[in-house]
Structures are given as structure tokens and as C-alpha cells.
Structure 1
Amino acid sequence: MSISGSAVSAEEPLLVTISKETTRITAPLKDNGYPDYVGALNAQLSKGITAENNLVVAIWNTIGTTGMSQNLVNPYFKHLQTSPPKKNAQYYQSYYQWFQETLLTEEKTSELTPREIDGLRQSLEKEHEDCMQQPWTAKKFPRMAQWLGINQRLLVNFASAANSRSQFYNPYVVESEYQNQPVPELIGLLLPAAQQTRGLARGLRLLANNQIAGGNLDKAIETSKAIHRLGRLSSRG
């Protein structure tokens, strides 16, 4: 019998025995009678988690939910015990997002040849690489300074949250196509905050290098601490 197509109906016998020896968990169970492994993971990982101590909440309050599948927003934030961020607020943009939407628009590049557009893109990417590797100033990198001017408040606020929050709970969510199947749906798990976490870490690094160049060493230390805390906390899953 194939079990990969549709969910098992309530009348059909289960294909496995629900026991610690075979399924490892005996609760919670899905509507079709099979173990709800995602629910079990979320129950375990969310112990002691609140909207106030969870750094993941601060991540989404910084970046917004534009990049998240919209049918997952409500169930995801229900796990986080908080409301989704407002759609019409200003949120953090990575340097790549920013220059793609401001410097590489069709309007800005309409009079450039494809080679010139590619050269502009490469120069912007080189600036990003240079500023990630060393202290940088607005005088030498005015375009990077323009990006930071737009995003600095958000990065500073997020660094403060990273240095004060002690938990990292990124709920596991499953696309509807994997729900109520007899096979475990863990293969369909989504990790909405994973890529965004890396993007924020890069933004904090750019901020820290600018603070170092400006002689603001105390602020640079706090920003660097936030990067390390973000890495340690996010490793919890």
C-alpha cells in the first residue's frame, strides 16, 4: 500500500503501533492518529519562552514579514504568543536589498549598457565585501553610509535586544501539503528566521566596523557582543 499520496482516513488502521518503541512519542497525535512530531518539538522547545525573552520576536520586529509565506504568518506568530509586525512600518533592508531597489532599478539604469550595469553591481558588491572586512568611513564609502543611515536605528535597537534577551525559539511550521499525512512531516519543516538571522548578523558587522572607524569603541564592543549572542542563541534551533 502506498502511503505517500493522501492522508489516512479515520476508518483505516494505522500502519504503525503508537508506542515509545516504534514512534518514540505517544502524544500529541494528529487528527489521523499518527504522532505529531512537529507539535512535540514545539512543545519541548517553547518551554520557558515568552514574547519578551525570545530574540526571534525581535528579529521579526526588525525585518517584518514580507519574506515569509503569508499563509504561515498567523500560525507562526501564534506559537510566538505575539501579533505579527505591522505591514506598513519601516523595516531593515540588507545592503543588497537596498542597492537593488534604489541604485539598480530600471529607471536608474535605463541609459546604461548591460556591461555598465554589471560593472555597477560588481562595484557595489566589492564595497560590501570591503566594509565587512575592515573599519570603514562615510567619506570613503558614501553609498554604504547612505544605507547605514536608513538602517542604523533598527540595527542599534536589535543589538540592544540581542544583548538583553536570553531565549531563541523559532517555531517549526509545516506547509499544508505535508499536514495530515501518515508519514512524518519533518521533511517539510520550514525555518523562516534562519536566513534573516544571517542577514542581520552581517548588518551588525557593517555597523560595528563603522563604529570602530569613528572611534566609538564602546558602541562597537556592544554591537560585536550582539553578533556573538545572536550566533550562540540561534544555534539552539
Structure 2
Amino acid sequence: MSNNILTTSLILIYCFSAFLSKSSADEQPAKPRPKITISKETTFITEPLDADGYPDYVAALNQHCSRGVTPENNAAVLFWKAVGPAEIKPERREQYFKMLGMEPLPEKGEYFRKSDKQVDLHKNPQNNTDEYVLDPLYGELNKVTSQLWSQDDFPVWANWLEVNEKPMALIVEASKRPRRYDPWFSSEKYKHAISFRFTSHEYRDVARAFLARAMLRAHQGKIDEAWGDIMVIHHLARLVGQGPTFVDLLVALTIDSMANVGERAMLAQANMSAVTIASMQNDFRSLQPLSDVINCFHYGEQLFALSIIVDLSSYSCTF
């Protein structure tokens, strides 16, 4: 009898424990649903979704921009090999280069030297009495990128081109590639928003170096080589213009205008035959349009704006 009572008691205790466990599990709060309706009319995209069930605009933007891109046809792969990883945050570099399909770049290497670095290396300390006054070397840079010039007149900038010879050769190869894709990431502060980090700005200083070299080569009578540098600038502008935002378009316009400055200087100051000018004109006419403004607004800019709105609706941002 006592054994039966003990067995019955154990069974009751087990059943009661199971009931409590189930009740506790049932009482756990369910994962909150997104505070917005996921639809074409409200969120524009319905997939992919992130872990919280919200539209993953970062993933969507990367999918859109990288469609048809490979490490072999992506100009960004060669561009970063030429300029180095310094402008990419260290904590994102591994993932950044993985998304480009390339090995991470070492911190130090024979990378492109920026113009401000060249100024820092060669400026006269006596000229730095006022932090708001630009060093005279920047005035020289404006001259070597707007008129024909000689090495004797501007040795600092001749040296700049000399030390950048190898990375510029790599960028020439990059300019021949048909696509340019740089990865996008989510904002560090706002969970669902796309980060406002535009790598297209890195192309401007590189374009400035090609313009300076074109002006130097034109002065030396190397018209074909000078024109080749001008065309590199045009191609870089069109690669930058493939970006999904108006910022990319504005940077592309800025870079393309550099080439226009070089063309006007060559026409006004260089000794060129009518045949040479006609050939240049044909090259210019063969260029593709800079960017699709409608596509920038319809997709890229819309995703940026919606990612911020979705983040606000999720209450993940703080004020």
C-alpha cells in the first residue's frame, strides 16, 4: 500500500511540475512584431528581413549594387589595392574586403599618397602661423591641376606624381573595368538605418593626381599620354556614378569636371593638330552617361530615407 501511495505521489508531482513548466513557457512574452506594415506601399521592399522582422535595407542595397559584380570586373578591388585600407574602419575591414571577394589589405604598403599628406611632408613650418590659412602648397596644387606646368616650377608636386607612380598604374587598370561596387553597412548608432559613409569621396584626390600628371605631360609634349590621363578621370567619374546615391552622383560630376578643366587647358595651351583634336572628340563622344538620376532617387535614396523612418518606428534610436 505504501509503495502505491509513493508511486502515485511521484506521478502527481511530475504532472504538476510539467504543468508549471508549460504555464511558465506560455507566459513568456512573444517576440514583438514590427510596428509597421511590411508591404510595397509602406516599406518599398518586403524582403530581406532582419532578425527583428523589419526590412533589411542594408542587405537589399548591397544585393542591388553588387548584382553582376565579380572581383574580376569590380574597379573597387584594384582601387583599394592602390590606395590602401586606411579610410575603412579597422573593425569593418575584414568584412568589407570579404564582401569584395578579396583578401584583407595590410595596414602599410606602397599605397597612393594623398595630396594633404604630401603637403604635410613638404610644408614650411613658418607658414603655419594661422591654422585657418591654407599652406601655399595648396595654391600650387590648384595651379598644377589647371594649367600646363613643368617639374622645375613645382618640384613638390612632381615628387607627388613620382611617388604615386605604381598605385596610379593600378588605378589605370581599375578605370578599365566596367563596374564599381563598394559595400554598405548599417549605422553604428541606429540599428536599422544605412550608414552615411560614402567611399566615393576617396576617388577625388586620385582624379586630381591624374589631372596634374596630364598637365605635366602636355607641357612635355606627351599629348597622347596626357589625353590618356584625362580619359582615366572620365572613366573614374562614371564608375563613381554607379553608386546608388545623389552623393555618388555629385562626386562623379566633380571628378568629371576635373577632366573638363584639363581638356580646356590642353586646347588653349598645348600644341595639338586637328587630327589629334578630332580623335579626342571621338573618345569623348564614346563615353557613357555619368549616372542614372532616376535610379538614384527611385532606389538608393529611397532606401536611405526609409531605413531612417523604419528605425524611428522601431524606437531603436535615442535622442
Same fold (TM over 0.5): yes
Distance 1:10 1:21, change over 3 A: farther
Partner of 1:103: 122
Residue 230 of structure 1 is matched in structure 2 by: 236
Note the 1:37-116 alignment, pairs <5 A. Answer: 37-100=57-120, 102-104=121-123, 109=125, 112=126, 114-115=128-129
Choose from 184, 189, 192 the match for 2:196.
189
Percent pairwise identity: 30
Match of 2:217 in 1: 211
Q: Shift of the alpha carbon at 1:13?
A: 2.2
Are the aligned partners of 1:10 and 1:32 in contact in 2 as well (CA < 8 Å)?
no
Q: Give how far 1:85 is off.
A: 2.0
In 1: Cα distance, 2:206 partner to 2:127 partner: 33
Match of 2:63, as an amino acid?
Answer: A
Letter in 2 for 1:229: H
Q: CA deviation at 1:174?
A: 2.1
Paired residue type of 2:201: Q
Change (3 A) 1:147 1:16: same
Unaligned runs of 5+ in 2: 1-28, 244-319
The equivalent residue for 1:149 is 162
* Counterpart residue type for residue 225 of structure 1: M
Partner secondary structure for residue 177 of structure 1: coil
Asked whether the equivalents of residues 132 and 205 of structure 1 are also in contact (C-alpha less than 8 Å), the reply is yes
State the shift of 1:176 in Å: 3.2
Whole-Å separation in 1 of the counterparts to 2:173 and 2:212:
16
SS at match of 2:157: helix
The residue identity in structure 2 corresponding to 1:234 is V
Using the alignment, how far apart are the partners of 2:168 and 2:71 within structure 1? 19
- Where does structure 1 lack aligned partners over 5 or more consecutive residues? 1-8
Corresponding residue for residue 3 of structure 1: none
**CA distance in structure 2 between the partners assigned to 1:29 and 1:23 by the alignment:** 11
Displacement after TM superposition at 1:155 (Å): 1.3
The one-letter amino acid paired with 2:213 is: L
Aligned residue pair count: 215
User: Hey, what does 2:141 align to over in structure 1?
Assistant: 128
Q: CA deviation at 1:10?
A: 6.7
Residues 124 and 117 of structure 1: is their aligned pair in 2 closer, same or farther, counting only changes over 3 Å? farther
Q: Residue in 1 aligned with 2:261?
A: none
Distance 1:116 1:71, change over 3 A: closer
Aligned to 2:281: none
Q: Give, in whole Å, the separation in 2 of the partners of 1:130 and 1:93.
A: 19
Q: Is the 8 A contact 2:69 2:181 kept in 1?
A: yes
Max Rg structure? 2
Secondary structure in 2 matching 1:201 = helix
Contact 1:168–1:234, Cα closer than 8 Å, also in 2: yes
Query: Following TM superposition, by how much is the alpha carbon of 1:126 offset from its aligned partner in structure 2, in angstroms?
Result: 1.3
Q: Which amino acid aligns with 1:153?
A: K
Question: CA shift at 1:21, angstroms?
Answer: 2.5
Which residue in the other structure is 1:168 paired with? 180
Does the 8 Å contact 1:159/1:222 carry over to 2? Answer: no
Q: Which has the higher helix share?
A: 2
Aligned Cα root-mean-square deviation (Å): 2.2
The AA in structure 2 aligned to 1:206 is: A
